[in-house]
Amino acid sequence: MSATSRTPSFGTSPVSPGTRAGFAFVGRQFRLEVAGDEFFIDLLFYHTRLKCYVVVELKGVAFKPEHAGQLNFYLATVDAQIKAPDDKPTIGLLLCKTRTGSWPNTPSPA
């Protein structure tokens, strides 16, 4: 997506066209601008079968609540700036390096 265009240019998908996965790679470190500030989504995909964007955030540390807040901010921004009216709401995926046993119903790592 260029700075002047709000329509992303889809890159080459790592999934071969013959598969039914439905994911199209949009960008890595995908730039968003909000109120003059820049933000970067780790990975952005478009799911062609579900008709929605998929935001993937990668964290090299254990989960922290602020990671979920950052992801929610990205989801709202993609929905407001990029999503077409007939697209479904954006899906978010947060992947952390480790999980902690301090959160309810999560066992401590072995």
Q: What is the pLDDT of residues 86-107, one digit of tens each?
A: 999 999 999 998 866 665 665 5
- Mean pLDDT for 18-35 is 87
Residue 45 in contact with residue 12, Cβ under 8 Å?
no
Q: Is 54 helix (H, G, I), strand (E, B) or coil?
A: strand
What pLDDT score was predicted for residue 67? Answer: 95
- Mean pLDDT for 36-47 is 96
In one-letter notation, the amino acid at residue 45 is F
pLDDT at 5 > cutoff 90: no
What pLDDT score was predicted for residue 4? Answer: 43
